[in-house]
Amino acid sequence: MNRSSSVLLVCLACGVIAVIGLGATGCSNWSTASRSGQQVITLWHQMTVGERKVLDQEVARFHASQSQIRVNTLYKETEELRSGFQAAALAGTGPELIFGPSDSLGAFVTMGVVQDMSPWFDQSRVAEFIPQGLTFLASPTEPERPVLVQIGDRVGNHLALVYNRDLISSPPATTDELVTLAVKTTIDRDHDGKTDQYGLVWNFVEPFFAVPFITGYGGWVFDESGDPVPALDSPACIAALEFLVSLQTEHHVLPANCDYETADALFKSGSAAMIINGDWSWGDYLSNPQMNVAIAPLPIVSATGKPMGPMVATKGYSLNVHARAEESAAAMEFVDFMTSAETQRNFMAKLKTLPSRKSLLDDPLLKEDPTLMASALQMNNGRAMPVVAELRAIWDSMRPHYQALLAGNVTPAEAARLMQADAVSTIARLNQDIQPNSTGLILKLVALILTVTLLWFQRGAWGQLAHDWNQNRLAYLLIAPSLAVIVLTIVYPFFYNVVLSFSNMSLRNFQNWQVTGWQNYQQIFTEQKFFVVLLKTVVWTVVCVFLHVVIGLLLAVALNAPLRGKSIYRVLLILPWAIPAYITALTWRGMFDYEYGAVNLIANQFFGLPPINWLSDATNAFIACIITNVWLGFPFMMVIALGGMQGIPRELYEAAKMDRVPRWKQFWYITLPMLKPVLLPAVTLGTIWTFNNLNVIWLVSNSGEPSDKTHILVSYVYKAVFNLYQYGYGAALSMVIFVLLLLFSLLFMWRTKATEGIH
């Protein structure tokens, strides 16, 4: 046997072994009874790193306390947990338990993906918890019967003021004092015009952090009717927004575009005197040996005399609707353990969380620990987070206008008005319940007719196939596995999507969705938003691909000569391609930071350019995304062009030289036309990839910030689906994207004969 065939055989053997091996490792599939008869249950949680340590200790304690149940914990980022849990629910699986704040619960209950826990939770035990500790919601099917959807092990998730005691002796009691203190502690030590220490920082760009100010001014996100009706256009809200803006524009106590990471880093490095942050972060600050930190309740708003009240949420456990009886029982045993007084006390002691059990309210720990005392005090000023799916719409509607306000593009009154308008329409959209109409039936008929005609007209192909099978048997055998994999993993989901795009799958019809008609498409084409985003996508694609090709060609031309250090150049230039994009895209986001980003720092230090507010201005943020994507994509084009250039006969250039053709004309008349056959397929693919590039937009602009103005179609789809649960609408939109790209590719290939290789 010769070398190559043995290599192939070894490869195939490895493949088979790998498949078997990988399949075998999959025996630990979800939670099945393991060999020793143990019940394994899975918990998805979103605890921070510090919290996870305590969680692990408590799980270990649980395992030690009994031998029948094993718990497998898994951290999921908030959004990941939500979308993952929904997807799992659709497939009828998922973790038995999820742990998190109650804000996703409203949607989960509406979708029917969490189970009523009351069968395992005796009515008599309700009294052991404080009222917020247990979340009862109306059952979506029987509105009269409340169901227990979450058992809390802690309440809080609330914001408070954290201050650096080295910089501030006592915390402010009112907002006036807060401003005075903040201004006083905002210092430019070396008088270079750049602030070295800020008075007050927090995740300024996130509306969640603005809520305490709104409550302090007497407002709230919903009105007082009890139904989730937004109330963002209130005088209180406007006043709060005015105050917030003044901190930035009048008092300059916090850096521009201050997001969570910036605020956190500033405070940790001692460059900020105060920070507003949630209970999840305090442990980190308190345990930092280099800092002397204390927690204080947020001050009283001087204008109203009311204390600032953060949103307070319960965190706790919910049960998957798909958990089987024995799994549920085991899971509930674990929940009992985790919500027991002892466990809660451990969390309280180690993480300064506030308990959900009444018995712990009198615990000496709570009376002695200054942090817990301040936290409890703050929580009493707080207001419970509404457990409704609509809350999400509030955040989504507030964020863009809030950020536009901070960027100085709208006035507080305008911002409030726009927030309110958006919230009303978003909530309407969220609760949209499309009913099947006649188009649904027509569509089904059309689909049927299409299929039949297609089969009828292709009937000749079958006979041909049978004939061809004898002749090209090897060809079919060679291509079959590839096609099978593609059909299985791409074609099936594709048709699933086609069906979905004509359906009403959404928050209200999550598991019981049905084909309703072309309403989703109607919605797409009647909204102006779609065309705006489409235009942006086209700009994005054209600019990116153009720059990819231009830079790629430039570098290929530069490299395509006997050059010292050529191979080193080549390797270093490929780096942006080699390193996983999710790493570099995030890095670029960091580099675009206004104050600490390398882009501004370098531009300033070496070229004396004024800093540019990259991420908080819509146009700049979009440019930042383009820069990142160009950076990511040029090596591919460079390599393609370089490969193509090696195939161009030297004689052509020599002939051109004899004809005294200048170099740039040689490039234009020889290099470029000769590269056409390699470049065109690359450009086609590059265009498709760029058009569909979610990663860069998502990571660099932090999912469309500011103001949802950096979206291209794919990120817009993503946001529609994952924020507003509009699965049907999202599917329809992706069909539109698909058709657009298909048309483009066909046209492009037809015009340029790019795929002569195919035909």
Partner 1 sequence: MAEAPKSRWIAATRHAVLMLFVLISVYPVINVFSVSLRPGNRLRSTDLAVIPADWTLDSYQKLFTEQPFLQWLGNSLLVSLAVTVLGVGLAATGGYALSRYRFVGRKASMLAILTTQMFPATMLLLPLYVMIAYLHLVNTFLGLLIFYTATALPFCLWQMKGFYDTIPISLEEAARMDGCSRWQTFVRVSLPLAVPGLVITALFSFMTAWSEYIVAAQVLQERDMFTLPLGLKSFQASMSTEWGLYAAASILVSIPVVIVFMLLSRYLVSGLNMGGVKE
Q: Which of residues 518-577 bind partner 1 (CB under 8 A)?
A: 551, 554-555, 558-559, 561, 563, 567, 569-577
Instruction: Give least dist CB 362 to partner 1, A.
Output: 31
470 is an interface residue for partner 1 by CB under 8 A: no
757 is an interface residue for partner 1 by CB under 8 A: yes
Residues 659-678 interacting with partner 1 (rule: CB under 8 A) = 677-678
The window from 28-36, 145-153, 180-188, 334-342 that contacts partner 1 (CB under 8 A) reads 28-36
Nearer to partner 1, 288 or 359 (CB): 288
For residue 706, say if its preceding peptide bond is cis, omega within 30 degrees of 0: yes
481 is an interface residue for partner 1 by CB under 8 A: yes
Q: Report CA-CA distances (Å) from 196 to 94, 186, 442, 672.
A: 49, 8, 67, 52
Strands 311-320 and 97-101: antiparallel
**Cβ 47 vs Cβ 75: under 8 Å:** yes
Nearer to partner 1, 302 or 497 (CB): 497
> For residue 341, which of 317, 371, 361, 315 has the smallest C-alpha distance?
361
Nearer to partner 1, 442 or 454 (CB): 454
Phi, psi of 34 (to 5 degrees): -85, 180
Return d(Cα 43, Cα 52) in angstroms, integer: 12
The window from 105-113, 123-131, 302-310, 585-593 that contacts partner 1 (CB under 8 A) reads 585-593
Return d(Cα 131, Cα 356) in angstroms, integer: 8
Using DSSP, state whether 595 is helix, strand or coil: coil
Nearer to partner 1, 115 or 501 (CB): 501
285 is an interface residue for partner 1 by CB under 8 A: no
Q: Which of 110, 248, 281, 509 binds partner 1 (CB under 8 A)?
A: 281
Phi, psi of 282 (to 5 degrees): -65, -40
Residue 418, both tokens: 């726009």
Q: Which of 211, 332, 418, 639 binds partner 1 (CB under 8 A)?
A: 639
Nearer to partner 1, 11 or 33 (CB): 11
Nearer to partner 1, 238 or 385 (CB): 385
The window from 174-182, 387-395, 410-418, 460-468 that contacts partner 1 (CB under 8 A) reads 460-468
658 is an interface residue for partner 1 by CB under 8 A: no
Residues 699-718 interacting with partner 1 (rule: CB under 8 A) = 713-714, 717-718
- Unique residue bearing structure tokens 């997807």: 87
610 is an interface residue for partner 1 by CB under 8 A: no
> For residue 736, which of 531, 562, 462, 479 has the smallest C-alpha distance?
531
Using DSSP, state whether 62 is helix, strand or coil: helix
711: Cβ contacts below 8 Å, ≥ 6 apart: 533, 536, 697, 704, 719
Contacts by residues 746-749 (CB-CB < 8 Å, ≥ 24 positions apart): 748/684, 748/687, 749/684
265 is an interface residue for partner 1 by CB under 8 A: yes
654 is an interface residue for partner 1 by CB under 8 A: no
H or E segment at 224? none
**Cβ 690 vs Cβ 633: under 8 Å:** yes
611 is an interface residue for partner 1 by CB under 8 A: no
Return d(Cα 285, Cα 350) in angstroms, integer: 13
Residue 741 has a CB neighbour count (10 Å cut-off) of 17
User: What string of H, E and C letters represents the secondary structure of 242-304?
Assistant: HHHHHHHHCCCCCCCCCCHHHHHHHHHCCCEEEEEEEHHHHHHHHCCCCCCEEEECCCECCCC
Q: Which of 598, 609, 672, 747 binds partner 1 (CB under 8 A)?
A: 598
580 is an interface residue for partner 1 by CB under 8 A: yes
Nearer to partner 1, 431 or 755 (CB): 755
Nearer to partner 1, 182 or 639 (CB): 639
User: Which x/- pattern over 79-98 shows residues binding partner 1 (rule: CB under 8 A)?
Assistant: xx---x--xx-xxxx-x---
Q: Which of 587, 620, 702, 752 binds partner 1 (CB under 8 A)?
A: 587
Q: Which of 260, 518, 530, 667 binds partner 1 (CB under 8 A)?
A: 260
Instruction: Give least dist CB 277 to partner 1, A.
Output: 8
| Count of residues that interact with partner 1, criterion CB under 8 A | 154
User: Which x/- pattern over 32-71 shows residues binding partner 1 (rule: CB under 8 A)?
Assistant: ----------x---x-xxx---------------------
455 is an interface residue for partner 1 by CB under 8 A: no
The window from 325-333, 351-359, 387-395, 485-493 that contacts partner 1 (CB under 8 A) reads 485-493
